[in-house]
């Protein structure tokens, strides 16, 4: 029971004045204590003062003060305390033991005067003297806080970034520079930081936001560093506005989403066109061939000529569609490569057999030059066959007289063994000035004989793309008037 006179004194005090029993639990709580610490009387009375007001880091010191006051008066001293909202403050603490007539301890009287602003002012003067000019020369906004999270120094860049002048910032909790929704969580984080200080570099993967004086929010990167001085440890933050970078990243993300949608639309188009275009064309070519075989009945010479034109145009259009779809699949990475042992003799023989009818129709000799020993390599058989077939078709198409030869042999390139597939013709050759166009999509060279032959300009481009898929390359050598040689070169492995 607190004496009435003492109770009146407690209630009238503007400082945080309160009493505790011998066990350290609060027995009286003044209005000034409510203002200082935020607890109402009913919330404080009955609770241990060490758990109510003393942060863990200061409890050893507080316990020692209780022990010392048992033997005599304890001078006022600076102490660290914590309010109900978690904000830490510095107080000038006075502690006095109350004994009964029998000398037994009845409790303690406490008088805490908030000196946080005085502490901040001293810290600001000290740090400003030592670091003020240096911080103004840095390119980032710099804010330094003391161990209770109060701003004690801010450079000119910080003032410009947040819209406060330094005098207004000094003494404010660092949370004033961040959105309200982060305040409670940040108080806990910064308390833990001072207990276990470490350097955290700029851009440590956290999504952080600053808040200007006018309430506008903006994304930031923050580096943290402990700053040890003869006045204690402080925390230094370097803050960088990354609004422009975030806008760029968002624009890039939006563009990637747009490209992904375009790619998906392209995939759907390819899937649709593969069926929707080729199916009717195959029907046109098929039924035209049946008519030309005279199965439904005889044809006049004009009808046969017209039907042959339909079939030729249909085949040309089908070849163009096939090439376009193949190129699109390669460029979108939708061509699967199956690497396996491949008998090169068998592939070259199959290609020569496929080209035989077209070559004979033009009176060309076509042959395979194969070594006596089989040449086996690990590659994709389908891609190899398509490349040689395309190169062979070109050779037959552009060679008016003479021959076309397909060959294969192995040779060394440095410490590697390469397998070389060649397609050689006796055509008009390609002028040196035109050769740079050969492997470009939709590009056709002007032949040495000025012959105009229908083509898509995709054949060699497709061959080059397929060659790269299987780890090879296309070489060519051509002399105007003497013919051309195209070669597919595939790295077979290290020299034995």
- The CATH class of 247-331 is mainly alpha
Within 10 Å of residue 233's Cβ, how many Cβ atoms? 12
- 3-class secondary structure, 334: coil
Tell me which H or E stretch contains 485. Answer: strand 483-494
Listed by start position, the domains of the chain span 4-114, 118-241, 247-331, 340-494
Position 152 pLDDT exceeds 70: yes
Of the segments 7-16, 111-120, 273-282, 409-418, which one has the largest average pLDDT value? 111-120
Q: Sorting pLDDT into bands at 50, 70 and 90, what band is 489?
A: very high
Task: Yes or no: say if 465 and 330 are a contact pair by the CB < 8 Å rule.
Answer: yes
**pLDDT tens-digit map of 176-230:** 999 988 888 887 777 777 767 677 765 556 678 999 999 999 999 988 888 888 8
Mean pLDDT of 344-366: 92
Question: Quick one: which of 5, 14, 21 has its CA closest to 111?
Answer: 14
What is the pLDDT, as a whole number, of residue 441?
62
Q: What is the CATH number of domain 340-494?
A: 3.30.565.10
Task: Yes or no: say if 44 and 19 are a contact pair by the CB < 8 Å rule.
Answer: no
Q: Sorting pLDDT into bands at 50, 70 and 90, what band is 426?
A: very high
Mean pLDDT of 260-274: 72
Percent of the chain with pLDDT over 70: 89
- Phi, psi (deg, nearest 5) at residue 443: -115, 130
What is the pLDDT, as a whole number, of residue 38?
94
- 3-class secondary structure, 21: coil
Position 1 pLDDT exceeds 60: no
Architecture of domain 118-241: 2-Layer Sandwich (3.30)
**pLDDT tens-digit map of 442-465:** 556 665 554 544 555 677 888 888
Q: How far apart are CA 418 and CA 285, in angstroms?
A: 41
**pLDDT tens-digit map of 401-424:** 999 999 999 888 777 888 999 999
Among the ranges given (226-240, 325-339, 356-370), the one the predictor scored with the smallest mean pLDDT: 325-339
Q: How far apart are CA 262 and CA 255, in angstroms?
A: 10
What is the pLDDT, as a whole number, of residue 277?
74
In this chain, the answer to whether the domains covering 4-114 and 118-241 adopt an identical fold is: yes
Question: Quick one: which of 350, 348, 357 has its CA closest to 406?
Answer: 348
What is the pLDDT, as a whole number, of residue 454?
52
Q: Is 81 exposed, middle or buried (0-12, 13-18, 19+ CB in 10 A)?
A: buried
Classify domain 4-114 at the CATH superfamily level.
PAS domain (3.30.450.20)
* Residue corresponding to tokens 């790295």: 491
What is the pLDDT, as a whole number, of residue 455?
53
What is the pLDDT, as a whole number, of residue 373?
87
Q: What is the mean pLDDT of the chain?
A: 85
Token digits of residue 252: 């890039």
Among the ranges given (199-203, 331-335, 349-353, 433-437), the one the predictor scored with the smallest mean pLDDT: 199-203
**pLDDT tens-digit map of 98-146:** 888 888 889 999 999 999 999 999 989 888 888 877 888 888 999 999 9
Position 36 pLDDT exceeds 90: yes
**pLDDT tens-digit map of 389-399:** 989 998 998 89
Three-state secondary structure string covering 23-60: CCEEEEECHHHHHHHCCCHHHHCCCEHHHHHCCHHHHH
- Phi, psi (deg, nearest 5) at residue 487: -130, 135
Q: Sorting pLDDT into bands at 50, 70 and 90, what band is 295?
A: confident
What is the pLDDT, as a whole number, of residue 8?
66
- Phi, psi (deg, nearest 5) at residue 87: -75, 135
Q: Sorting pLDDT into bands at 50, 70 and 90, what band is 359?
A: very high
Residue 12 vs residue 23, higher pLDDT: 23
Q: Sorting pLDDT into bands at 50, 70 and 90, what band is 82?
A: very high
């Amino acid at each position: 029971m607190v004496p009435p006179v003492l109770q009146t004194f407690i209630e009238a005090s503007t400082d945080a004045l309160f009493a505790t029993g011998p066990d350290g639990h609060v027995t009286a709580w003044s209005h000034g204590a409510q203002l200082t610490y935020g607890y109402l009387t009913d919330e404080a009375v009955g609770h241990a003062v060490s758990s109510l007001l003393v942060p863990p880091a200061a409890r050893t010191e507080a316990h020692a003060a209780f022990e010392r006051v048992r033997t005599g008066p304890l001078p006022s001293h600076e102490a660290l305390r914590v309010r109900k909202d978690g904000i830490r403050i510095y107080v000038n603490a006075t502690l006095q033991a109350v004994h009964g007539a029998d000398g037994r301890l009845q409790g303690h009287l406490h008088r805490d005067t908030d000196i946080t602003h005085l502490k901040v002012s001293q810290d600001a003067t000290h740090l400003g003297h030592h670091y003020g000019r240096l911080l103004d020369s840095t390119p980032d906004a710099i804010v330094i806080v003391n161990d209770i999270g109060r701003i004690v120094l801010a450079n000119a860049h910080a003032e410009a970034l947040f819209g406060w002048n330094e005098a207004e910032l000094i003494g404010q909790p660092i949370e004033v520079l961040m959105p309200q929704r982060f305040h409670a969580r940040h108080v806990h984080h910064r308390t833990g930081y001072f207990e276990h200080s470490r350097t955290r570099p700029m851009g440590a993967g956290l999504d952080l936001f600053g808040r200007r004086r006018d309430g506008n929010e903006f994304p930031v990167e923050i580096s943290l560093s402990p700053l040890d001085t003869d006045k204690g440890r402080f925390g230094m933050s370097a803050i960088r506005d990354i609004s422009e970078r975030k806008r760029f990243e968002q624009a890039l993300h939006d563009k990637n989403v747009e490209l992904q949608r375009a790619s998906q639309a392209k995939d759907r188009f390819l899937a649709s066109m593969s069926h929707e275009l080729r199916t009717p064309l195959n029907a046109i070519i098929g039924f035209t061939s049946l008519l030309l075989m005279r199965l439904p009945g005889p044809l006049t010479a004009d009808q046969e000529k017209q039907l042959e034109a339909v079939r030729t145009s249909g085949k040309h259009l089908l070849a163009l569609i096939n090439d376009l779809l193949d190129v699109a699949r390669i460029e979108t990475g939708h061509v699967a490569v199956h690497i396996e042992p491949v008998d090169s003799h068998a592939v070259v023989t199959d290609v020569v057999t496929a080209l035989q009818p077209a070559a004979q129709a033009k009176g060309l000799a076509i042959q395979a030059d194969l070594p006596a020993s089989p040449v086996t390599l690990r590659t994709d058989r389908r891609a190899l066959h398509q490349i040689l077939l395309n190169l062979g078709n070109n050779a037959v198409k552009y060679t008016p007289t003479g021959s076309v030869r397909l060959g294969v042999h192995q040779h060394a390139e440095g410490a590697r063994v390469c397998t070389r597939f060649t397609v050689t013709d006796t055509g008009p050759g390609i002028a040196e000035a035109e050769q740079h166009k050969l492997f470009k999509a939709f590009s056709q060279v002007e032949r040495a004989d000025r012959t105009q032959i229908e083509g898509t300009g995709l054949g060699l481009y497709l061959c080059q793309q397929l060659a790269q898929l299987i780890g090879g390359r296309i070489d060519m050598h051509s002399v105007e008037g003497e013919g051309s040689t195209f070669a597919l070169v595939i790295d077979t492995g290290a020299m034995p």
